[in-house]
Structure 1
């Protein structure tokens, strides 16, 4: 299955935030979007960074309570691992494993067009397993 197909079932909403904001704005936006990560972009297509709950935890350790007033640019991950929309889903799994990350932005022609998280992959795999099980049941019962 391709990333494109996975996104077509999931939807293309990408939680984003502008780079000139503070961490307090990030926390508000994460709650509004019910997300665990925000892609940092100023034009909705160019990925400048990503900020995750893990980045917030690191900021808390480094700056203490004052972290909420820190500029986002100081806390976001700037080197973002992304995947092209036409790659197979297995590539996303490999990237998540290799880089120990839970969120992978998706690009199409270099422009941001989606995001995949670990829960999306779990849902995909459960659906795939259910489809396989139903096919086997149909085969065994002779209705295939």
Structure 2
């Protein structure tokens, strides 16, 4: 089974991040600009939280707050579930399902080196299965 390292090598190690004192509106604009559903929240190089579209929907819209006047640190999730480079995609899928999260920042020596989404995990599994099917078809056709 492929690992998180494999997924990041395929998709890239880029991480979109924002400061905790930024406005939620700025976070939403950044998510829209980069077409992502979450941003890691960094204070310097330290991971202090994650902000997602789900946080916005539940903690701004439903509570009647406004995104320009609310800071990221007021609504971000601070109990961030992270992945390691050596974790398998299967392990990450289990964690994401059990903890109902869609994004896992990836840490190496306490530093954020990437982020993976549930979509990245599904794509990797589908690609892996497609490769296996192609290999089996090749085998059963006598290697021709």
Distance 1:66 1:117 in 2: 27
Q: How does 1:77-92 map to 2 (within 5 A)?
A: 77-92=77-92
1:108 equivalent to 2:108? Answer: yes
Quote the offset at 1:65 in angstroms: 4.9
Distance 2:3 2:70 in 1: 38
Distance 1:66 1:31 in 2: 17
Q: How does 1:114-129 map to 2 (within 5 A)?
A: 114-129=114-129
1:133 equivalent to 2:137? Answer: no
Q: Structure 1 or 2: larger helix share? A: 1
Question: Cα RMSD (Å) of the superposition?
Answer: 1.3
- In structure 1, runs of 5+ residues without a counterpart are none
Per-residue CA shift, 1:29-84, capped at 9, x if unaligned?
A: 111211100000022x321100000000012111x152441111111011100011
| TM norm structure 2 | 0.93
Distance 1:25 1:77 in 2: 17
Partner of 2:76: 76
Distance 2:27 2:67 in 1: 11
Partner of 2:93: 93
| TM norm structure 1 | 0.93
Partner of 1:10: 11
1:52 equivalent to 2:16? Answer: no
Quote the offset at 1:98 in angstroms: 1.2
